[in-house]
Amino acid sequence: MGGIDNGRHLIEAFLEMMAVERGAATNTCQAYGRDLEDFAEFLAGRGMAADQADLTALRDYVGDMARRGLAPRTAARHLSTLRQFHQFLFAERLRGDDPTTSLDNPRLGQPLPKYLAENEVAELIAAAGRLDGVAGRRASALLEILYAAGLRVSELVALPFAAVARGQRVLIVRGKGDKERMVPLGDPACRAVTAWIEVRRPPASPWLFPGEDGRGHLSRSGFAKMLDRLAVAAGIPPSRVSPHVLRHSFASHLLAHGADLRSVQQMLGHADIATTQIYTHVLDDRLKSLVNRHHPLAKKKE
């Protein structure tokens, strides 16, 4: 399998396979090539070819990436490339084993969800209310529902008119996996929806928020553009505002005001409560605040 030099030609063979047989994009193949070239240079320093790494060498490479300060996600991408490369070598009988099967992935930190402060959400809703006519009523209804129910943007724009036609205070939302869930609407959202229905066009549309041309429903991109304009009007950088940020804000603010995690899970439509647990940082802050306010030792002066 021979020698340090011919390790590179196996990398080329792997990249060709990815492009021709699996249809990998040019940018993807270039990224694979950079990752494998980095790996080959590391092995060359040990007198090994790119196809000769054992588990010890792979673990040392992971340690080398950490010493160089590569972010966990970047290191994970490198390892994904190495796994595919070694799977290729094994499948083509270019080596008799795949050492990456015993290699652990680097631990990825769970990023905290980005969310707006309560006063910032209020400013966004106020900016929507300042818009004139039909546009203002539609924007207000969209924001009030999104913040009141924590919907995914795809769920919001595709709400059927039947979801609110009878003036009910509970939304029946069809989410991922075609699963239905019930989410209550508060008074502000109900008032905004009622005001929107009065001017909604075309009135015969099956969608609560018809598209601009009257066919289909409002697009995700159309809603995102509207949200950008409202962010500017509210004095908030548009880069900090998105439909998903408002969904995060809904969950974070509920927990901050005492809602339990299981209820938030059900309203968000998460199949697994582990997904909802990204919001526990809010619970941590609230618990610290409760302890500081109410625990007798916390009030004790030094």
CA dist 217 and 157 (Å) reads 6
Omega within 30 of 0 (cis) for the link into 106: no
The reply to whether 32 belongs to the active site is no
Query: Is 270 a known active-site residue?
Result: yes
d(CA 35, CA 78): 6
86, 137, 138, 270: the active-site residue: 270
From the list 202, 160, 200, 203, the residue with the least C-alpha distance to 180 is 160
Say if CB 240 and CB 116 are below 8 A apart: yes
176 carries an active-site annotation: yes
Positions of E strands within the chain:
170-174, 180-184
The answer to whether residue 244 is catalytic is yes
- Of the residues 78, 247, 248, 253, only one is catalytic, namely 247
Which among 176, 179, 288, 295 is annotated as catalytic? 176
Residues near 144 by beta carbon (within 8 Å), at least 6 away in sequence: 125, 188, 189, 191, 192, 193
Catalytic pick among 244, 257, 288, 295: 244
CA-wise closest residue to 138 among 211, 36, 43: 211
Name residues whose C-beta falls within 8 Å of residue 211's C-beta, 6 or more positions apart in sequence: 217, 218, 219, 222
Q: Indicate if 191 belongs to the active site.
A: no
Per DSSP, the chain holds a count of helices (H) and strands (E) of 13, 2
Q: Is 9 a catalytic residue?
A: no
Q: Of the residues 152, 217, 248, 253, which is catalytic?
A: 152
User: Quick one: 229 exposed, middle or buried, by C-beta within 10 A (0-12, 13-18, 19+)?
Assistant: middle
Residues marked active site are found at 152, 176, 244, 247, 270, 279
